[in-house]
Structure 1
Amino acid sequence: MTPTATLTCIRLNPGHPAVRRDLADRVQLHKTLMRLAPGTPSPHPRRDAGLLFRLDTDHDQPTLLVQTTQPPNLTGLPAHYGTLLAARDLTPVLHTLTAGQHVRYRITAAPVRHLPGAPCGRRPDGRLLRHRGTPSALHGHDAALWWQRRAGQSGLALTDISLTPRTFERSPHTPHQPGLHHQLIQFDGHARITDPRLLAQSICRGIGRAQSYGAGLLSLAPA
């Protein structure tokens, strides 16, 4: 069964105090956007709401792309927080993805590699078992290889890749939380769809780490 998703585009009002606060702190931005998806209490509210977002700053005014499983509750945002540019049901698009189709893509992601952890035993064949290691951020060629691998696992064969580093804004007043320092990279380029079902699932589920803070939302357009 093909999953469902709604994509909402909001042009932010940079003069609004809540917008200025959120643009300076990804943690606060995440808290604000969670107000778009109220629901029953859950141990994993963001994941259960299917909430993914990306902050695009290509234009004079910053724009938020917000993806949710159900149409968002826009009244949850502060008054005059931004202007709604579009709200689109992605479900028909997910149904029409076809193998061999050529597309343009964009995703902001947090590529990492886990360093080897401490030994914790041995397998029956004698190979050493290790704890999961500390994640280490990837850059440049290593980041491109990471995205090429993850794209292949998500139903896309990449034709080309361009990388743009993006800042992970965090207020100095935010209490320290282990693992909250992320390196974000925006990947753009062209690709060919290899597995439409897997790709639809990846679009709805998100790709990679730091999805609460603006990573993992994959956007496609006809090539």
Structure 2
Amino acid sequence: MYLSRMFLNPQRRGTRKLLASPEAMHAAVLSAFPPNSDLVSHDGRVLWRVDREAHSLALYVVSPEKPSFEHLQQQAGWENQVSWAIREYEPVLGSISVGKRFRFRLAANPVKSVRDPQTGKSKRLAHVTAAQQRNWLLERAEVMGVRFLPTEFSHADSHDTSNDDLAVSVTGREVVKFRRQGRMVTIARAQFDGAIEVADAERFRRVLTNGIGKAKGYGCGLLTVAPMTSKSD
């Protein structure tokens, strides 16, 4: 597995075109791999996410095969400067163990299944408020193999902390609409930042390499981590 980061030039017309359509960005990401590439394998799948900071715009990609971003450089990068870095993901995945703590960022598509009383069929509805989206993530702690840490890390060994005191924040929210195969697609995307402790190393590795939630092809599901060196970090 590989983890890549490419800084995009926000002044380029190509960048603005990609940001306007998850379908276009999805195609650009897949173009970083030859046609015979394994985009989904037993090790993981291709995931991507765009992070918008005050002074930077970064595309993150996790993939089973090593990508090549020359085409994105021409379309959305800088003319005379390479702005991407690719590293093997195994050192990070191999370092994960129960009890290890991380800062994390996740972009996800929080949805719920609701059964139509008239037809009996289930349909997906997006969680629309920040509180609903945050609860969606907190409810997935066991599936992710993590424990969300309290805001005050001096009490990080307490297991009876209420959800309101957990270090999980919705730091970005947007509704993206685009056309796909002649129909309108709507994705409610939320960005989460916070702190976690690994409770099940295998489940956590699976989330890092396979993502979580729906709309993984459209910039959702990718969770990235940075190690915490101390409880007060």
Q: TM-score, normalised by structure 1?
A: 0.82
Give the gaps of 5 or more residues in structure 2: 150-166, 229-233
1:22-101 alignment, distance < 5 Å? 22-40=18-36, 46-47=39-40, 50-77=45-72, 79=74, 81-82=76-77, 83-101=82-100
* Root mean square deviation of aligned Cα: 2.4
Show CA shifts across 1:1-24 (max 9, x none): xxxx21111110223322121111
Query: What amino acid sits opposite 1:110 in the alignment?
Result: N
Instruction: Work out the CA distance in 2 between the residues paired with 1:10 and 1:85.
Output: 4
Q: How many residues align?
A: 205
Query: Post-superposition shift, 1:119?
Result: 6.5
SS of corresponding position for 1:79: helix
Identity of aligned residues (%): 25
Q: Is the 8 A contact 2:40 2:64 kept in 1?
A: no
Instruction: Work out the CA distance in 2 between the residues paired with 1:85 and 1:79.
Output: 12
Show CA shifts across 1:155-195 (max 9, x none): 11111211123324445x766535x2011111111111001
Q: TM-score, normalised by structure 2?
A: 0.79
Show CA shifts across 1:112-134 (max 9, x none): 111123477xxxxxxxxx43233
| Residues 184/193 of structure 1: CA separation in 2 closer, same or farther (3 Å cut) | same
Q: Is the 8 A contact 1:106 1:187 kept in 2?
A: yes
Query: What amino acid sits opposite 1:105 in the alignment?
Result: F
1:126 is aligned to: none
Query: Which of 134, 151, 154 matches 2:141?
Result: 151
Query: What amino acid sits opposite 1:95 in the alignment?
Result: G
1:167 matched to 2:167? The reply is: no
1:1-20 alignment, distance < 5 Å? 5-20=1-16
| Residues 50/76 of structure 1: CA separation in 2 closer, same or farther (3 Å cut) | farther
| Residues 47/177 of structure 1: CA separation in 2 closer, same or farther (3 Å cut) | farther
Give the gaps of 5 or more residues in structure 1: 121-129
